[in-house]
Amino acid sequence: MSSPAAGSAVRRIFIDKQSPEAYQALVKTSEAVHAVAAGAGLDRRLVELVNLRVSQVNGCAFCLHLHTRAALRAGETTQRLGVLAAWRDTELFTPAERAALALAEATTSPADAAAQEAAYAAARDALTDDQISAVIWVAVTINAFNRVSVMSKHPVRAER
């Protein structure tokens, strides 16, 4: 098996279409996680902020597009969405949101043990146990969807 020449693109398969049973299981997991988040009292805007921040860290254009629209529908502001990548450098986010975002980042990049411990400690101060669990599940789930879209190279097309 030969490798492609430098700079040439390899045709990707959409793994969600290639293995629909596995993808539907992920969708069902996502639905369960959203119910858990709602049951824990997490606002839909916060769930979408977590989805967006994790997608930013992972560089998933498709999920960024999808969840930006969902966040706007949930009532999120363009100002907060515009600075989300630099959330630590602004006062626009509540302590609970900041704790959730740090916990989502720690879930996405777990190799940094010190950051993970700090994020978890902050979450213990700002969120309930149910909310901590829900935030971690939201981050785990969007990480999985990010991998599906990144590895499939799902396109983002211009809106009309």
So where are the chain's domains? 19-152
In this structure, CATH architecture of domain 19-152: Up-down Bundle (1.20)
Residue 92: exposure state from Cβ atoms within 10 A (0-12, 13-18, ≥19): middle
Q: Is 70:51 a contact under the CB 8 Å cutoff? A: yes
43-82 pLDDT tens trace: 999 999 999 999 999 999 999 999 999 999 999 999 999 9
- The pair phi, psi for residue 154, each rounded to 5°, is -60, 130
Please give the biggest Cα pair distance in the chain: 54
- Whole-number average pLDDT of the chain: 95
